Amino acid sequence: MTPDMIYGAAGIAVFGIGLVGALCAQDRLRRVLALKLCSVGAGFLLLVGAWREPPGTPDPVPHALVITGIVVMVSATAVALALIRRLHSLEAEDER
Amino acid sequence: MTNFLSLILIVLLLSIFAGLIRVFRGPAPAERMLAAQLFGTASVAILLVLSQVMQMQALLDVALVFALLGAVTLVAFVVLAERGAR
Amino acid sequence: MLELLGAGLIGLGAVFFVAGTVGLLRFPDVFCRLHALTKADGLGLALIALGVALQAGTGGAVFRIALIWGFVALASATCGHLIARHARQMAGGRHD
Amino acid sequence: MSVDLSPVMLSIFLPLFGAIVAFMLPRAAGAIGLATLALTTGAVIALARDVLINGAAILPLGGWGAPLGIDLRADGLSVAMLGLSCAVGLLVSLSALSSLRGPEDARQRQYFWPLWLLLLTGMNGVYLSTDIFNLYVMIEVIALAAVGLTVLSGTTAAVRAGLEYMYASILGALLFLMGVGFIYLQLGRLDFAGLAEAEPTGALIAAIALMFVGLALKTALFPLHFWLPAAHANASAPASALLSGLVVKAALYIVLRLAQHMPFPSETFLTLVGVMGAGAVIWGSIQALRAERLKLLVAWSTVAQIGLIFVAFARAGEQGLSESWKAAALLILAHGVAKAAMFLAAGRIKDEIGHDVIRDLDRAPIRPTLAQFTFALAAISLIGLPPSLGFIGKWALMEGAMAAGYWHWVGVTMAGTLLSVAYFSRVFAGFLRFDRVRAPVGEHQGWALADAAPLTLAMMAIALGLMAAPLLGFLEIGYALGEAK
Amino acid sequence: MIDPLVIFDLLLALGIVALAVAALATRESFAMIVVFIVFGLVSALAWVRLSAPDVALAEAAIGTGVTGALLLKTLHHLRCATGQPGQNATQAQISAPPVPVGVTLANAAFCGLITLGLAVAFLGAPAAGPGFEGLVAQAMPQSGVEHPVTAVLLNFRAYDTLMEVVVLLAAVIAVWQIERGLSDAPAPVMGEVWQGFARLALPAIVVVGTYLLWVGAEAPGGAFQGGAVLAAVGLLLLLTRAYVPQPAHRGIARGAFVLGTAAFALVALLVASGGRVAFEYPLAHAKTLILLIEGMVTLSIAVTLAALFHGREPMALKHEGKDDT
């Protein structure tokens, strides 16, 4: 039972949960959140790959990749949320 | 010593999870914000203890950022919930 | 010796956290909960910070821990105030 | 001290700087955009010359070299794709200048250029990259810029389609990222050369499957095509041309590269790809036959044509892509040029007539002759009639499939061809049976200039077929990884 | 006896999975966002356990803080724009009609299968397999910085990082393009306690952000984390309406958005002389150049994240009789 095994399993589970949410969620906001969960799952996988024994001597490259992934994901989230807001306003206008 | 600190970590983590019940029950946003405040403080505490357990001074910086962001998030909660209620 | 004292403080701090959480769960209304929580976890964090500072020893670490504690104390007081005001407004809004 | 600007760098950085300047100076965005496109095309031509003379070019960024650093690599195929994005991009830009000219388009004009130049940055980056994580970042650049272009018109339908597109894009990218994670887990490196040495293990098969599904989502392979028709049909004409002609090709190109470096794991997987492709050909064609609007028909035909390209992958056989990658590459190039021409022509027809309902095309009082001619030329290439580039691509596909004894894939290709004849004839019928009401002369003003770009593109789609032999020769330069120097 | 730290890891992992489920299963949207933020915090803790403090910093600041604020703002918008006050007024509007349970189940089963396959693949992969650490250790002396993650981000794989900043630029351009002229609710009343706190806290946050940027050369921290912390200041100012973006500030904002990308790309191109290729910093100036790039990028990230939160481009709005100061 090393941290990499434990968190690797958790990461894959989180990815799967996010996948379910991304496919099934009806609420637009919830779908964005589900996608964010997927990205955290992928982050876990990379970080687990970087884990080395003894603890505290990880491979730094995946760390950099995950940081990049986080920034990319926040950009995508921001655009998706802007689309949701805009669509909501447009739909409200159309109803009037 | 490490074992003792690890037990403390477990206790703190459990107190976060217990606080989640309040998030689900609500009823008002104010309660959920309170719970969020608990999470912020407790995770700072966890990081402080972890910095001892893992012998990583850098975690203090992480704790500092958690503390700052906890405050910012709470302000966002309050302001956006307030305006939303009008 | 310092190490043991630090451990004791950390343990005491954890007890306060537990107390705060119990208060959050068990107290009847939002203001009681607010009161219990902000007091208890503020104190809990202070004790843990002190304990960790005693164990850490180096000047830089102690300084940073003090900074963290100071910020959290100020922020939690302010946020507690904001939340309380928010709760009051909401309560008032319902009666109007 | 002179700065050493290699054309490899320039073809990525020129559009990047162009985007920055166009964003800073919105009033001059059009001129900046066009100048950037011209300069980038120049850089690509210089690069093509380089590759023709010296073979594949490698640029180890930062001097580290793979696997620690990132290498850029330009071979025949990458340069052909760069050429596609620049040539189509230049002509679409020209047409955008005329179609986004009105005062009510000021806002669209202001944002079209930076987004489009960032899109070009992303695509050119994809074509030169040899690192799978870098590819992930690049497809995200493409995705954000492409979504921005999709919703440029700002209508409810466009924004709704854009949101679906965004969801699909993010999910596709995340599946790809997960695949990157598995590759790192197994191999500990992320460059193409590392992939080539790999033995197929469970983690690698998972990685291939994840990346394939993610890219299939991005390139809208049936049944993951749900977002494409609405997104491409509701965007404004230049945006549709870029999305359909270029953007989906970037993901296709990555599939091609991955298949080159790590062959599809098994015959079952291969058959699955082929079945999905065949499904796309049939379903896309049926939907195109039923579409009521011209742009929607064109969008559905994209779904069908993408499927055909995947059929080309499927007949590759297990020993990697051997020869069939050339068929796929030719089809990608042909579709890119022809589909951009077709979307621009459809946009022109819509502008002139005022609607794009296929049933009412023949009742229009105005006859945008040149746009209709362009549409027909593009259709010739898409159907695959000789001597167009589409014909050469389809011929290469069928020839290979027949030689390998894959008669079912030949059947799918033939069926797709016949169906495309059927759905395009619906449009031709609309073009031919117009009642002969002549419009006032004034309404035709400016059509010649606006039609020039799509017409040139359509002619390119035909003419490239005549130059197929040198093109094929060029594609092969440096294709095999080893001979790069 | 089992190491209590392993129990902590197990609990944390279980908690993460449970929080992921809870975030998707929670009905009330506000609670969903709170759960998501807790999920982010707890995963950052897990990443600390995986000896990735840099990533934990980035996840806490960007992945949780900024994303959470964005989600909250969007929820707020969805609730306000329909004009119906109250907490749950627009739940029906936000969500579409429910799909048949069968479809959901089929989807879930499908995802379950995929996840199972991934888990099998994960277990089959070599634990602590090959990696870059040897190469990184070899190249560190030539990188110009002491912290490996910063060396990877700003030197070995600087091209990725440049493109990541380009993604942010694309996002802010797209967001400005998508959202237009939506009017805002009136400014919140924050009170004196807040004013006192803000006077102290905002400069403190700026100092911490700058510190993170600076310390990145030798310890966890760096441009992205520093930028995100600075963005928090922007978020607070925007939230409390201490700063309201004006149309006249658009030029400066544009400049700030592109500053990081432009500086990074220019440096990358200009170092390519005298036999060096792009991104190959001369060793003597490597640290200076990296810090220069990081500084510019930090500024850009801070402003861009704040702008992503604000959303629309500040335009000269036609005031429709609303108090919008």
Q: E87 or E125, which is more confident?
A: E125
As a whole number, mean pLDDT of residues D390-411 equals 85
Task: Confirm or reject contact between A84 and chain D (CB < 8 A).
Answer: yes
- Cβ–Cβ gap E194/C78 under 8 Å: yes
Query: Touching check for A33 and chain D: CB below 8 Å?
Result: no
Q: Answer whether B20 touches C (CB < 8 Å).
A: no
Tens digits of residue pLDDT in D329-346? 999 999 999 999 999 999
Give yes or no for residue E320 having a pLDDT over 80.
no
Task: Output the pLDDT for position D316.
Answer: 62
Mean pLDDT within B4-33:
85
Tell me which range, D119-133, D182-196, D443-457, E90-104, is most confidently predicted by mean pLDDT: D119-133
At residue E86, the pLDDT reads 41
Q: According to the model, what pLDDT value does residue D441 have?
A: 46
Contact (CB<8Å) A29/E174: no
> For residue D67, is the peptide bond before it cis, meaning its omega torsion is within 30 degrees of 0?
yes
D391 vs E274, more confident: D391
Give the pLDDT of residue E182.
Answer: 57
**CATH class assigned to A3-95:** mainly alpha
Question: Percentage of chain D with pLDDT > 90?
Answer: 55
Given this model, what pLDDT does residue E257 score?
Answer: 95
- Confidence check: pLDDT of D359 > 60: yes
> In 3D, which of D398, D397, D377 has the Cα closest to residue D388?
D377
**Mean pLDDT, to the nearest integer, of D237-246?**
93
Q: What's the pLDDT score for residue E98?
A: 64
Query: What does the block give as tokens for E248?
Result: 């006249």
**Is D163 in a helix, a strand, or coil?**
helix
**Is pLDDT larger for residue D200 or for residue D167?**
D167
| Band of pLDDT at residue E87, cut at 50, 70 and 90 | very low
> Which residue in B3, B58, B71 is closest to E201 by CB distance?
B71
Across E304-322, average pLDDT: 71
E194 touches chain C (CB under 8 A): yes
Helices (H), D55-105: 76-99
For residue D89, the model assigns a pLDDT of 94
* pLDDT given for residue E184 in this prediction: 61
Provide ipTM, 2 decimals: 0.93
What residue segments make up the domains of chain E, in order of their start?
A: 1-81, 148-317
For chain B, the average pLDDT equals 84
Q: Is the pLDDT confidence value at D321 over 70? A: no
Which residues have C-beta within 8 Å of that of residue D79, sequence separation ≥ 6? D44, D47, D48, D51, D474
Query: How far, in Å, are D203, E6, E46 from residue E40 at the CA level?
Result: 27, 21, 10
Q: What is the pLDDT of residue D93?
A: 93
pLDDT of D435 above 60: no
Q: What pLDDT, on the 0 to 100 scale, is given for residue D283?
A: 94
pLDDT band at D448 (very low <50, low <70, confident <90, very high): low
pTM (2 d.p.) = 0.94
Residue E275 pLDDT > 90, yes or no? Answer: no
Chosen for mutation from E24, E28, E103, E154 (greatest number of chain A CBs closer than 10 Å) is E24
A36 vs D contacts (CB less than 8 Å): none
E201: chain C residues, CB-CB within 8 Å? 71, 74-75, 78
pLDDT at residue E111 in the model: 87
- pLDDT on residue E186: 65
By Cβ distance, the residue of C74, C81, C82 closest to E201 is C74
**How far is C-alpha D483 from the chain's CA centre?**
28
User: What's the rounded mean pLDDT across residues D110-132?
Assistant: 95
Flag whether pLDDT at A64 surpasses 80: yes
Q: Please answer yes or no on whether A75 and D143 come within 8 Å at the CB atom.
A: no
- ∠ CA D320-D323-D326, rounded to 5°: 110
* Alpha-carbon distances, residue E100 vs A24, A30, E72, E103, E105 (angstroms): 10, 18, 29, 6, 9
In this prediction, residues E85-110 reach a mean pLDDT of 63
Per domain, the residue ranges of chain B are: 2-85
**Which of E127 and A13 is assigned the larger pLDDT?**
A13
At what angle are helices B58-85 and C59-95 packed, to 10 degrees? Answer: 10
pLDDT at position D485 over 60: no
C96 pLDDT more than 50:
no
Q: Which residues of chain B are within 8 Å of residue E11 when distances are taken between CB atoms?
A: 10, 13-14
E64 vs B: CB within 8 A: yes
Range name among D107-121, D315-329, E74-88, E116-130 with the lowest pLDDT average: E74-88
Please give the share of chain D, as a percent, with pLDDT higher than 70: 93
Residue E118 has pLDDT above 80, yes or no: yes
Distance from CA of D343 to the nearest CA of A (A): 25
Q: Please return the burial class of D385, using the count of CB atoms within 10 Å of its CB with bins 0-12, 13-18 and 19+.
A: middle
Has residue D306 got a pLDDT over 60? yes
Residue of D136, D175, D178 for testing the chain A interface, max A β-carbons within 10 Å: D178
